Amino acid sequence: MADLMTTYRIIRICRHHDGLKSFYFERSFDAQPGQFINLWIPGLDEKPFSISNMDKDFMEISVKSLGPFTKKLMEFKEGDFLGIRGPFGKGFTDADNVLLVGGGIGSAPLRFMANTLKSKRRSFSFILGGKSRKDILFADEYKKENNVVLIVEDGTAENRGLVTDFIVPILRKGEIKKICGAGPEGMLLAIRKIALSEGVEYELSFERYMKCGIGICGQCCMDGSGLRLCVEGPVLRESQLAGISELGLPHRTASGKRPIV
Amino acid sequence: MKNNAISVEMAGLMLDSPLLLSSGVLGLSASSLKSVADAGAGAVTSKSCGLNERAGHKCPAVLPFEHGVLNAIGLANPGVDEMVKEIQEYKRRSKTPLIASIFGSDVDEFGVVTEKIVSARPDMIEVNVSCPNVASEFGVPFGADIDICSRITRLVKDKSKGIPITVKLTANCPSIARIAKACEDNGADAITAINSIGPGMIIDVNVRKPVLSNKVGGVSGACVLPVSVRCVWDIYRTVKIPIIGGGGVTKPADALQMIMAGATAVGVGSGLYKNGPELFEEINQGIKTYLHENKMTRIDSLIGAAHG
């Protein structure tokens, strides 16, 4: 555990395109797929990011330029320092016969999960979606994989549609024991509905505004049970989701106020 | 209230355990407050709220270090009107007493926030005069100014509609006992001591910059315990009203020190960092074990015991 802020040099950057990059840091701790780190841009802010891959030498995070923080991050170069605290939270659990379902940049932790399952020789399928092919992280890496299905909304990959349209046919083959999902909350809730009606176990990775990452500030406590997403999550299962009443609602902002729908 | 060995009465509040959740930790929502109450806290304190919504400082706003936690949340809060709703929801869902913490950017604002917060009927109001972010018109923190503390205490007491009030003090003043006495003289029903100390700073040597976005922040956690125990000791010798002692409590012996120094109730905050809300039950059990081993039936007799 490395809760204390430590600064690391960026050892490599993979530019997918201008607004989507993966950053590599020296590996200094163990982590499970689904866990996250808090990334500090000195003098600007600190934000949580899922670990998108880990190898024996490096840790990878993958970032899409969306707001002031991620825009600034795109300007960083190899050799520059960034602060990291973590890994935090609880990730996906190991299993055989898993279906991974990811949408957009939020699917980043599933890349780490897929690589982990592969190294353990587990059987799994991976449905990975985005608005367009360029939104799918490392889409080319999956070309040769027959257990990976790429789905886009604009027709730039083999399948067109929403990831959730492709789940039931795979489940009906009868081999899948668990679904692991990461992406927009609407997609996660659709996965949950399918998993419950098909009687399949699931683990889903949620996002909330987070501050401390160590379970004391209360910013990411979920209404209902009050669970601390940064400690008990971000990957949640049915026993935890059943006690949460704020699913699908706008998230609490930095002040703690929930915007009115 | 279950009448057990560790239950205490504090300014009219009946607490199943002397341990309470300090303000600023897990206190933003009804649900998180209830989860802490269910974990064994004798009372919970909601996050300090002011008149208006504040986003607070950018992150890093909370920074653990080897011996504690540095924080500069910057009084982030949804505003008193939203907090009233959270407290009302909490009161519907939990029987464990709730202390509503409030602050103001000037003396008058304390009065306005009090008028609003009483509508939620909290069991006690904590008057936070000690946040390092809020300074008086002379640039001195409210908590170090005996006259301002007196005026704020009197104003909140007058508008509190019979709800007991506690004033949360800072150790950053020449004599915390003198401030506590002034608060007692102006109607405080209890004293909470202490807020985070410092402020402190951590610099990253690679980027050569302070790590907290606010650069400086309050120091809490295990390293402040000797300071908070001394403050409680000083206050106990000076006032008759009960003391809520907090600052660096992370294990049963710490809570016992605080009680022996003179605290009737003990605040736990940053200590939850390592163990989560389960820490409440762990300390409750530790106190019960101490009482049993020392053939004592009630914790009350330990309050101020170190003064001999």
A221 in B contact zone (CB under 8 Å): yes
- Interface probe for B, chosen from A3, A39, A216, A258 (most Cβ of B below 10 Å), is A216
Residue A66 lies in a domain: yes
Confidence of residue A28 (pLDDT cuts 50, 70, 90): confident
Of residues A158 and B143, more confidently modeled: B143
Indicate if the pLDDT at residue B139 is higher than 60. Answer: no
- The bridge status of strand A98-103 relative to strand A58-64 is unpaired
Q: Indicate yes or no: CB of B29 within 8 angstroms of CB of A256.
A: yes
Same domain for A8 and A82, yes or no, is: yes
- Interface probe for A, chosen from B34, B44, B46, B59 (most Cβ of A below 10 Å), is B59
A19 in B contact zone (CB under 8 Å): no
Indicate if the pLDDT at residue B218 is higher than 90. Answer: yes
Confidence of residue B225 (pLDDT cuts 50, 70, 90): very high
Confidence of residue B133 (pLDDT cuts 50, 70, 90): low
Same domain for A84 and A105, yes or no, is: no
Same domain for A61 and A112, yes or no, is: no
Same domain for A179 and A221, yes or no, is: no
CA-nearest residue to A6 within chain B is B204
B94 in A contact zone (CB under 8 Å): no
B173 is catalytic: no
CATH number of B8-307: 3.20.20.70
**In the structure encoding, which two tokens stand for residue A199, read together?**
């009687």
Count CA atoms within 13 Å of residue A71 on its CB side: 3
Indicate if the pLDDT at residue A219 is higher than 90. Answer: yes
Of A200, A218, A234, the position where a domain reaches its end is: A200
Å from A194 to nearest chain B CA? 28
Question: CB of A3 within 8 A of CB of A214?
Answer: yes
* Domain range annotation of chain B: 8-307
Average pLDDT along chain B: 94
Confidence of residue B136 (pLDDT cuts 50, 70, 90): low
Q: What is the ipTM of this complex?
A: 0.94
Q: Is the dihedral of CA A167, A169, A172, A177 positive or negative?
A: negative
Q: What is the predicted pLDDT for the residue at A1?
A: 46
What domain range includes position A120?
A: 98-200
CATH number assigned to the domain comprising residue A49: 2.40.30.10
Nearest to A115 by CA among A54, A56, A61, A167: A54
Of residues B136 and A55, more confidently modeled: A55
Residue A224 lies in a domain: yes
Same domain for A131 and A195, yes or no, is: yes
Q: What is the predicted pLDDT for the residue at B132?
A: 63
Q: Indicate yes or no: CB of A225 within 8 angstroms of CB of B31.
A: yes
β-bridge partners, B9: B14
pLDDT per residue as tens digits for the range B229-277? 999 999 999 999 999 999 999 999 999 999 999 999 999 999 999 889 9
Q: CA–CA separation, B133 vs A56, rounded Å?
A: 44
The structure's pTM equals 0.95
Q: What is the predicted pLDDT for the residue at A17?
A: 87
Of A38, A68, A88, the position where a domain reaches its end is: A88
Q: Indicate yes or no: CB of A7 within 8 angstroms of CB of B207.
A: yes
Q: Indicate yes or no: CB of A43 within 8 angstroms of CB of B59.
A: no
pLDDT per residue as tens digits for the range B140-187? 678 889 999 999 999 999 999 999 999 999 999 999 999 999 999 999
Please give the average per-residue pLDDT across A180-204, as a whole number. 97
Indicate if the pLDDT at residue B217 is higher than 70. Answer: yes
Same domain for A114 and A151, yes or no, is: yes
Please give the average per-residue pLDDT across B20-45, as a whole number. 98
Confidence of residue A251 (pLDDT cuts 50, 70, 90): very high
Confidence of residue A3 (pLDDT cuts 50, 70, 90): confident
Domains held by chain A: number: 3
Indicate if the pLDDT at residue B121 is higher than 60. Answer: yes
Same domain for A115 and A178, yes or no, is: yes
Per DSSP, the three-state class of B152 is: helix
Confidence of residue A160 (pLDDT cuts 50, 70, 90): confident
Percent of chain A with pLDDT over 70: 100
CATH number assigned to the domain comprising residue A168: 3.40.50.80
Average pLDDT along chain A: 94
From chain B residues 96-135, the ones with a CB under 8 A of any chain A CB are none
Q: What is the predicted pLDDT for the residue at B3?
A: 60
B52 in A contact zone (CB under 8 Å): no
Please give the average per-residue pLDDT across A152-160, as a whole number. 82
Sequence-distant (≥ 6) Cβ neighbours of residue A212 within 8 angstroms: A219, A230, B61, B62
Q: What is the predicted pLDDT for the residue at A168?
A: 95
From chain A residues 225-244, the ones with a CB under 8 A of any chain B CB are 225-228, 231
From chain B residues 179-218, the ones with a CB under 8 A of any chain A CB are 202, 204, 206-207, 209, 211, 213
Q: Indicate yes or no: CB of B31 within 8 angstroms of CB of A83.
A: no
Residue A93 lies in a domain: no
Residue A116 lies in a domain: yes
Q: What is the predicted pLDDT for the residue at A261?
A: 74
Please give the average per-residue pLDDT across B71-76, as a whole number. 92
